[in-house]
Amino acid sequence: MAVSTCIKCAGHSFEIALFTPIGESRKLSIVQCSSCGTPIGTMDPAPGLQLQALKIQVAAIDERLSRIAQALQD
Ligand SMILES: [Zn+2]
């Protein structure tokens, strides 16, 4: 597999850093060169939390569907 290379300093090691864009309150995660700090890409800050929120919503919809199905049978 090819080794990722920083476009600025030709370094080969990268790290995840948090930063807050101007005008935003939410932090974003970026992958940056660990030598010179050149950003390589961004990451979703908290996919786990968003997935958890979706799971709760789906469970609520499922419960309502069950109640509707039950009412239709009665
Ligand atoms: Zn670099």
Q: What is the pTM of this model?
A: 0.56
Q: How far is the CA of 27 from the centre of ligand 1 (A)?
A: 22
Residue 5 · residue 11 · CB < 8 Å: yes
User: What gap in Å lies between CA 62 and CA 59, rounded to an integer?
Assistant: 5
- The CA-CA-CA angle for residues 58, 61, 66, to 5°, reads 125
Q: How far is the CA of 13 from the centre of ligand 1 (A)?
A: 8
Residue 34 · residue 58 · CB < 8 Å: no
Sheet holding 14-19, edge to edge: 14-19, 28-33, 39-43
Q: How far is the CA of 17 from the centre of ligand 1 (A)?
A: 14
Encode pLDDT of 8-45 as tens digits: 999 999 999 988 889 988 788 899 999 999 999 888 76
